[in-house]
Amino acid sequence: MSVEHIREAILADAGAEAERIAAEARSRHDERLAAARAALEKEFAARLEKAKLDAETEARRRVILRRAEHNLALLKQRNDMLDALFAQAGPRLAALPDDGYRAVMEKWMRSLPADVGGELGCNERDEMRLGPVIEKLNRERPPEARLRAARHDQPLTGGVLFRAEKFEIDLSVDARVQRLREALAPEVSRIVFTGDVTV
């Protein structure tokens, strides 16, 4: 074999080896590229899924927050309406004709302890109107348990504030209406605010 043939054979073998190495390198490169692409796609999919879940969670949180704000505003509006409704009750009760007003006040004052005397703080108008009721009750009470009317130092819509030596009992119109408001609010709400308007 001539030198030229040997050289051509070596060059052919070297070329084939180089081609094989290049093909392996391309194959490894393609495998790494495919693996990197798959990893990136997997990471992107995971990040996208997390972003979707985070967005849904945030959207739910905002909806819940807005719903709570709406319901709170609605509750405040209802309470304001109930307050306005009950705010009219005190002056209306105090404006009853004298006989009707005295009957209500007598019933309230009969709840006072029969064996304890004291002062009935009231407004100027009630000091006059309740005189007959106080006289009637005092006829039924022992001398040491007498009731006496006195001008109250704070403005009262009506009713009395009973002051004994050791305790007080609030029989004012305002206090009674407030207690009624608390007790009747659920029932009045059901009557006045029919249907559920919460979101």
Q: Are 85 and 188 a contacting pair, CB within 8 Å?
A: yes
C-alpha torsion sign, points 105, 106, 107, 110: positive
Q: Which two tokens stand for residue 155?
A: 């403005």
Specify the CATH number for 97-192; select among 3.30.2320.30, 3.30.70.1520, 3.40.50.300, 3.20.20.70.
3.30.2320.30
Mean pLDDT of 127-138: 92
CA distance 89 to 93: 6
Sheet holding 168-172, edge to edge: 147-151, 118-122, 159-163, 168-172
Higher model confidence: residue 16 or residue 49? Answer: 49
Which letter does DSSP use for residue 143 in this model?
G
Lowest mean pLDDT among 10-14, 56-60, 154-158, 177-181: 10-14
Position 132 scores a pLDDT of 93
Please give the model's pTM, rounded to 2 decimal places. Answer: 0.58
Q: Which two tokens stand for residue 103?
A: 């009957």
Q: Which two tokens stand for residue 33?
A: 């590229």
Which letter does DSSP use for residue 154 in this model?
S
Q: Is 90 exceeded by the pLDDT of residue 192?
A: no
The structure tokens 């009470």 sit at 141
